[in-house]
Structure 1
């Protein structure tokens, strides 16, 4: 696509290091000929970010909580009030206020990418006062959003029904990889969880399940609010020889780790609509690396596994039953043979290169 180098400012509230979805979107926009600036924040231990597009990270006084969100959106608003750009792209409800006000005052198009059903995240469902503030912001802004997309059909249906919007679907699919089987260092089977270490991800149950299975290692790659609790649980259960914490890895290193796994976990609990409708990028990352998956029986994830026949679905996260699912997925050679045959097709189909066409159409429509 030929453009006059129109500028898009993309904003998120994270430190940019490991947000794969936003990186892919920015890369797509950059390849379309746009000048792209990605804005986030910097934390004390944030790694350096090197991208083909420009980046900017705010140094903020507050690191979390209401003061952080207020400070971030105020700083973002002030920046956008005077910056040069043609289009704004806001990622998630926590960056939308600053973008929306600036777009209204500057009369600039605003695109909204909703990575999840924000007001139903587990951190909010039991905090009705905080949840009501986010809901109020959502109700005020979303009906006025002209261009929007989200991660799955279920979330799009909710937003379209509630606010009369037209949310498109852009799933968290990975870039196509040249598949190369990883060389196994031992006969030990590897179960991998990659992603945020937050409540409701089934991590506590997965750790306890390791008491009931041998010849298997659980690798947990990521960081988050419950990291310390998970470390303590491993010590309490005396499972340090069966569980490895890999930490939060750069995207390239994470991809190498994924390829070594025998089973990938995406076992979110049904803690509100956000998790019920979850369709996380880790599920597709496993598939792209041709790793069979184990998912909870939630509609969006289960539909992918059933459609492509690439793994197991569990109705329970009770540790002993979960261990049985681990055993079935790792040692049932008949099933694994089928999955091995099916995974290459799924990996070929579920790629960003096909999904990004939705983004291209949205931004082409804005600049026509």
Structure 2
């Protein structure tokens, strides 16, 4: 039987201590009043979770549009937690590490999973290089790619790691191949109550694809964009702007964003795929975009967060003829979202008029 949001699992522990409902409310209140910023945001969410309302308010990241606050049903969050547990084999009493900001959906869901599934969760400061008990074995953790990069030497003590927020580079993917840790990339958004699909990044002998979680169905629209139906977490069909190739009724390959596809001389170019090939070769932050061209319609450009545009031509080795940028621009500082994602359109406005 699926649990409800009003119940705290008997095996739930937060930083080593089990709390009943009223005890947890008191502890959360103390975190809000006296805790560090990351503890305060965790306390605020716990107070929201334990109140009499059936919904919580969650901020979207704003990486593909204007940030907004949306309502999410608590039971949808419970259902999402159960689907993740079923897919990954999480059990009551499993240990978990929480190193994400609790004000966004990914961080909130770590707390919900612990409450609902009965996990023993340790909460640490959500920095780019999280510090935790490196000798302790954790069954489950969620990280950003930069957190995974900075803690590579300690990941062997984590059994299952999900990573999201941005793409994992080829170099980082290569670096985790010999880890015993099972690492999965996530696909999802705030509206789908975090991920609805996972992709193995290591311990696989062939190209892997995103596999959907239980109670999710997928299809494509006329643009080849992913359409998601997940009645356990949202009553609305979600039409995304993500161009995908369906591999089966339960798996897909992500190709890129519809609103970022570049049509150069009739050829469709996916910036995200080109960026994946350049990651590790370009040491500063960058992204691929386009500008108008009288002949091609659009031409490919590279935007660097740097003082100048100087690059070794060898960084483009391996790219196709039309994938090599026709112009390079330098911007001293990219416009970013609160969650550290590049706001490409706003950044481009400063260089292309």
Q: TM exceeds 0.5? A: no
Higher relative contact order at CA 8 Å, sep ≥6: structure 1 or structure 2? 1
Coarse TM-score class (shorter-chain normalised): under 0.3
Higher normalized helix content (fraction of residues): 1
TM-score (norm 1): 0.25
> As a proportion of its length, which structure holds more strand?
2
